[in-house]
Amino acid sequence: MTKKKYSTNNVTHFSPIHHHMNLLYQQISLFMNLKPTLQNEAFTALLCRTTSQNLQILGKKSQTRLSFAIRRSLCTKCLVPLQLWGKVRVRKRHIHLSCALCNHRSIISYPVNKWHASYSESVLPDSLCCNENIEKSNNE
């Protein structure tokens, strides 16, 4: 018997469960990108709710944990995505999430000095630095 030689490349293999969960999350994001009108807003909410319920059930049955970003994007009570039917407010050291459909509220606390903006203010289109940089690049 010879020893197994382990490969040095770190290739991640995804199971069919991961692919199915990815497909369900893509369906939810597709429903969220639709522009709901008054006629189909309830239907879009129903589609999002059933798809997210299927995603959660599949995760429980396969003992696969949903990612932190996906769990935070869904209401914990009615499982509807908060991007469309939720309100987010930042207060002192807490993030307040409230769902408009079921009126469920949740509070996420974050530690002091751990939160940073993902972009600097000079990148914003309204800032003077950005306008000056754009004008310089246009003149060249």
For 41-45, the CB contacts below 8 A with 24+ separation are 44/84, 45/80, 45/84, 45/85, 45/101
pTM recorded for the entire structure? 0.59
Determine which helix (DSSP H) or strand (DSSP E) holds 20, and give its type and residue range.
helix 16-33
Give tens-digit pLDDT for 83-110: 777 888 887 778 888 888 888 888 877 7
Report d(CA 27, CA 6) in Å as an integer: 38
Q: Rounded to an integer, what is the distance from CA 84 to the centroid of its chain?
A: 12
In the chain, domain spans: 16-109
Rg of the chain, C-alpha, whole Å: 21
121: pLDDT strictly greater than 50: no
Q: What is the mean pLDDT of residues 16-28?
A: 87
Q: What is the mean pLDDT of residues 8-25?
A: 78
